Each structure stands twice: as structure tokens, then as C-alpha cells.
Amino acid sequence: MAKAGLKIVKDKDFDGDYEKGTLLIVEPIEQTGITSKTVSALDANKEVTKAYPSHRIQLPPQPPKNAPNGAGTEKKVEQQSKRIKVNQAAPMAPNPVIPNDPEFGQLWGMKQINASVAWTSNTSSPVIVAVIDTGIDYNHPDLKPNLWASPSGAFGFNAIPGSDPNDPYDDNGHGTHCAGTIAAVGGNKYGVAGVNWNVKVMGLKFLDSEGSGDDFDAIRCIDFAIGNGAKVLSNSWGSYAEVPEIEEAIGRAQLSGALFIAAASNDRVNNDGANPSYPSSYDADNIIAVMSVDPNGSMSSFSNYGARSVDLAAPGRDILSTLPAENFEMKSGTSMATPHVAGAAALLWGHPKYKLADWSEIKTALCKPSRSGAMSC
């Protein structure tokens, strides 16, 4: 490594030989940056299996609280006929289920996706949902009963170098907010209700307290999720850098039988264009790319969109959900829309009709148009 002008960041104190397949993070000895020539030279080294540059990933920008509703007549939603609905129960169910959670009345998104109708069939899911994000507050009373735990008692995985891998605690709040929409306990007379009242949520952390992380660590989270049985991967993060290794990891998720739900981002960009947002725009069959809509059903003014690159629209403005330290707060963004779809996928897997379904059947059910033109499953 020294001959290449590089030093090992991870495991830098190790003085022996590395086993084949060991992942190493390196950086320049001098502050000159790693060039494509350096990466090519490492790739050509017989002792290196694969070398690739690391890209920084950020949470999508949080839309301003005074952002206007709707997107204007010049940007009518290409996905207007593709709004998510989880009405797998009879369309005219006589007694929709209304949970006793005190803040449920503020969850306009649950009403828009017809959750109360779906809950007449089932409120639980047998699958594991991985929230790949800033981690999760595993002490939150509205989440704790629904947390996945490893045999050692860890509630997920922390991929940030130098951190305790068994401690995915959320020091930002974004991941906890996403988790609440998917899996806040319903019917417990406390807080809010998630799309699933009873499901196992795995907290995976690669984004730090500032909402920033490396693609290498995102890949480690994806692989941890599929290696531990997750069937729905919720991803409310992204960048405009195309990273083949992330696409390969999503392909591994597909081979494991998992869906990869991804936010379209919040820059008012057409992802069909030359500079789309990733990972939602990768060409993997198991991806469901999600844009945001407002309470009136119009595309949110901040949302990315795309007739070919975006699959579904879901509630994403002023979404109330869980925050660390037993708090609740409204947030907006495609980050908030994505867990509505991840939750719907998990809930659908719990429906008697779909308990033996594979990922492609779940995606087809979520994305098929009903006679009314809305998405139904």
C-alpha cells in the first residue's frame, strides 16, 4: 500500500497478513486525492480483488417548511395514476379499522393509502424490514416492541468505521422517523401507528449525525440486511453519483428475495434525464422508486419525478412520526414517502393471499393500476 502512496484507514494497527476477501479502506498518505489512475493500478494488483473509489452520500435535503403545496400545472404528476393504495381488503369494507393511538388523526398519509381498509384484513407482517439510514432509537416506546434483534441482542448494525457495529443508535433522527411510519405500534393508546402494527424492523446505520456516509458502508448495510433475512429494504437516502458496486449489492438483494424501496430525492429533478438520483434510478427489477405527493394528491413541489424512473407516489409532506427520546415530529420529503411504500410491501406480505409470494409478486401487486386509476394491492 505504501508503494502506491496509500495507507490503511480501517484496521490500521493490524501488522499481519490479511485473508483473501478482507475489505480495506485506504486513503492517500499525502493529501493529493485518489485518482482513477490509482484505482486502476490497485485493480491490476493480483493481491487486490476489487478496488473502487468511495463516494459520500447525504440524506436528501429537507424541504423548507414554507414550501408551496403542489407542483403547479406545468408539472402535473406523471405518476398521478400511480399513487400507492394498500386496500387489499374488500374495496367497500364496512368497518375500517381506526387505531386508538392519540395522534392517528394527524396521519393523513394513512388515510390516503387506505390503511384503515387494509387493516380489516391484517395489521401484522411476518417479514423483516431493514431501515438503512441513520440508525434507530431502539428505546422509543412506540418502536421497541417491533424491533428485530440478533442472537446477541443487537437491534441492527452500525457500519460506520470506528463505531460499535452492534449499536445502531440514531443520533440524527431521520432513520427513527422512517421506522415509525413503517412500524410504530398501533392500538397501544400511545403516539402514532405505523402501516404495520406488528412487524420486525432492523435498524441499519451508515449515515452519521449529520446525515452523511460512504457508499462502501451502505453496501455493508445492504449485505447485512439480506444476510439476516430482511425482505423489505427501505432506503431514504441517495446521491447523483452512479456506483456500480451499490447496484451489484441491490442485485444480491434481489437474488435473496428482497425488495429495495428507494426515495427519488427532493431536488425537483426529472430522474428520466441525464443526471438521475441513485439508488432509486438503478436498473434493478426489485427496486421500487418513490416520489412524494401532498394531501391533495398533487406531486410535492420538492419531489423528483420521472415517468420511466419512478414507480409510485406516496404521502411525503408533513408526515408525523417518531423521533429519538420519545418525541414525535412532522417531516417532509421523499424520505417520508418511501417508508409508506416499504410498510405497504411488508403489510401485503402479511395478507393471507400473499404470504407465499415472492418479491416480484409483491411489487406487481403494489404497482398495478386499479379500475379507479389509483395503485392498489
Residue positions annotated with a catalytic role = 133, 174, 335
Ramachandran angles phi, psi of 349, nearest 5°: -65, -20
Q: Which CA distances in Å does 72 have to 68, 165, 198, 301?
A: 9, 45, 39, 8
Helix (H) or strand (E) holding 223: helix 215-227
CB atoms within 10 A of CB 73: 7
Cβ-proximal residues to 202 (8 Å cutoff; 6+ apart), any chain: 128, 129, 130, 131, 147, 148, 155, 156, 157, 225, 228, 230
CA-nearest of 341, 329, 357 to 62 is 329
**How far is C-alpha 85 from the geometric centre of its chain's CA atoms?**
18
Q: Distance between CA 282 and CA 325 in Å, rounded?
A: 35
Q: Distance between CA 63 and CA 286 in Å, rounded?
A: 28
Residue listed under C-alpha cell 393509502? 113
CB atoms within 10 A of CB 154: 18
Say if residue 279 is preceded by a cis peptide, omega within 30 of 0: yes
